[in-house]
Amino acid sequence: MYISKSFIPILKNNPSEAKIKSHQLMLRVGMIKQSSAGIYSWLPLGFKVMKKIEQIVREEQNKIGAQEILMPTIQPSDIWKESGRYDDYGDEMLRIKDRQGREMLYGPTNEELVTDIFRSSVKSYKSLPQLIYHIQWKFRDEVRPRFGIMRGREFYMKDAYSFDVSDDDAIYSYNKFFLSYLRTFKRLKLTAIPMAADTGPIGGNLSHEFIILAGTGESKIFADERIFKVNSDDTKIEKNSLEELRKKFEKFYAVTDEKFNKKEFEDKVTEENRLSTKGIEVGHIFYFGDKYSKSMGASVDLPGGKKDFVKMGSYGIGVSRLVGAIIEAKYDDQNETMNWPISVAPYDISIIPMISKNDKSALEKANNINKELIKNNIEAIIDDTDENFSSKIKKMNLIGAPFQIIIGKQTGDGLVEFKRPGDESLEIKLVDVIKIIK
Ligand code: ATP
Ligand code: MG
Ligand code: MG
Ligand code: MG
């Protein structure tokens, strides 16, 4: 992709209306454009990053055996009346009437809709467990939409639902998601810590929020610092192994403010390990038993002929919020560099040829390098403008491809000038560049 042909409307300076880094930068680099309060259009650069995050989330859901569906954004109100949440949900729910006067709503979450799908087709314990997810826009009429897409009103969420025959099986499903979340955030190069959380309007008794530390986060957390060292690499998708993993985390005090108890914190955590700070909630998992299956009549036949309500859990990841969360965690202030992990970077590499009005040979070289990269499935962005070197570098640092090739000064035979944003450059062969990126 040539910069001159791309739709990346970069601003010279940080927009003053934005209060936090990720919001400023997403506007500045033209990743999003506000349409109304808390509602955004996603421009190519932002959309590419979000889609890559979405794909990683999807792959990790599939790995634990969850199946993808797609439910609509607009839901009928009657199922919410059945569960009893139509009134409870309050002003965060956007209520709409269609031309027949039927009450509809823009889904803020999908427990009711998925339970309705489940009850209409699954009748026997033999079909369980079922792990179902979708990745879809949600709407919540937040009192204070702010920080750009971090607290939007319309936002993109992965939400999954588990259906099991017993509490014991349901906890197994819960633990599968627990692991898949750790793996997902790890692939995004984030350290997200599972913290005991309140279940709020979803109801139920077991719940963890996955939080990444950030001064600009809106969640208050209290933790034993040693929880950051817990490792999940050897965990298998198997009942005991998963249970052990959760125990390893739960050994350390780690809670959000709703669950915080000063005395407990001070009793359980020695002073040097106490961490009380702020974080961003990027995921949240709940176990709530038969809260919805009972009120909505979702039961299955058990062996022996009896019937019972299925045991359910729900599992959310804020896919659009993660775009901002990664910027908050990774942005390098000193070099004004996005520092996207390669797994979600909008481009793998930027090529920066030094072009003047009468000498276009560097651009030709760039095109040849790009052909090689394309053969190797590496996506490059090429600055084909005749701006000066330092403004080209600045722009590419902001766009944030994790590698750069500079074509200007004389290099050794068959070598290219290669660097990571903010680092010194080195001269290496193109095949080695490809090896580093892959
Ligand atoms: P918050 O505490 O930030 O309001 P929540 O607890 O209401 O979030 P959940 O119902 O647990 O959110 O939804 C699952 C995930 O969806 C959250 O962990 C978060 O990552 C994301 N999310 C929730 N609300 C928003 C929002 N307004 N904008 C962007 N992402 C959101
Ligand atoms: Mg909320
Ligand atoms: Mg919350
Ligand atoms: Mg939550």
| CB neighbour list of residue 306: distance below 8 Å, 6 or more residues apart | none
DSSP, residue by residue, 74-92: EEESHHHHHHTHHHHTGGG
pLDDT at 125 over 80: yes
pLDDT at position 412:
83
Cβ–ligand 1 contact at 157 (below 6 Å): yes
Q: State the number of CA atoms in the 13 A half-sphere of 159 facing the CB.
A: 21
Looking at residues 46-70, what average pLDDT do you find? 98
Mean pLDDT of the chain: 95
Residues of the chain above pLDDT 90, percent: 92
pLDDT band at 202 (very low <50, low <70, confident <90, very high): low
CA of 62 to the centre of ligand 3 (A): 25
Tokens of 125: 């314990």
Cβ–ligand 1 contact at 282 (below 6 Å): yes
Residues of the chain above pLDDT 70, percent: 98
Q: What is the CA radius of gyration of the chain?
A: 25
Looking at residues 419-431, what average pLDDT do you find? 94
pLDDT band at 427 (very low <50, low <70, confident <90, very high): very high
Looking at residues 188-201, what average pLDDT do you find? 87
Pocket of ligand 1, candidates 321, 322, 323, 326: which has the most ligand atoms within 8 Å of its Cβ, to mutate? 321
CA of 75 to the centre of ligand 1 (A): 19
Cβ–ligand 1 contact at 142 (below 6 Å): yes
pLDDT at 163 over 80: yes
Higher-confidence position of 13 and 324: 324
Cβ–ligand 1 contact at 155 (below 6 Å): yes
pLDDT at position 351:
98
pLDDT band at 302 (very low <50, low <70, confident <90, very high): very high
How does pLDDT run across 374-391, given as a tens digit for each residue? 999 999 999 999 999 999
pLDDT at position 133:
98
How does pLDDT run across 254-284, given as a tens digit for each residue? 999 989 999 999 999 999 999 999 999 999 9
pLDDT at position 200:
67
Higher-confidence position of 143 and 200: 143
pLDDT at position 396:
96
How does pLDDT run across 66-97, given as a tens digit for each residue? 999 999 999 999 999 999 999 999 999 999 99
Question: Which amino acid makes up residue 338?
Answer: M
How does pLDDT run across 107-118, given as a tens digit for each residue? 999 999 999 999
Cβ–ligand 1 contact at 140 (below 6 Å): yes
Looking at residues 205-215, what average pLDDT do you find? 92
How does pLDDT run across 337-369, given as a tens digit for each residue? 999 999 999 999 999 999 988 888 999 999 999
Q: Among candidates 116, 149, 132, 121, which has minimal Cα distance to 42?
A: 149
Cβ–ligand 1 contact at 141 (below 6 Å): no
CA of 339 to the centre of ligand 4 (A): 27
Classify residue 258 by its DSSP letter: G
CA distance 238 to 228: 23
Cβ-contact 353, 384 below 8 angstroms? yes
CA of 203 to the centre of ligand 2 (A): 14
CA of 402 to the centre of ligand 4 (A): 32
pLDDT at 201 over 70: no
CA of 114 to the centre of ligand 4 (A): 19
Looking at residues 119-136, what average pLDDT do you find? 97
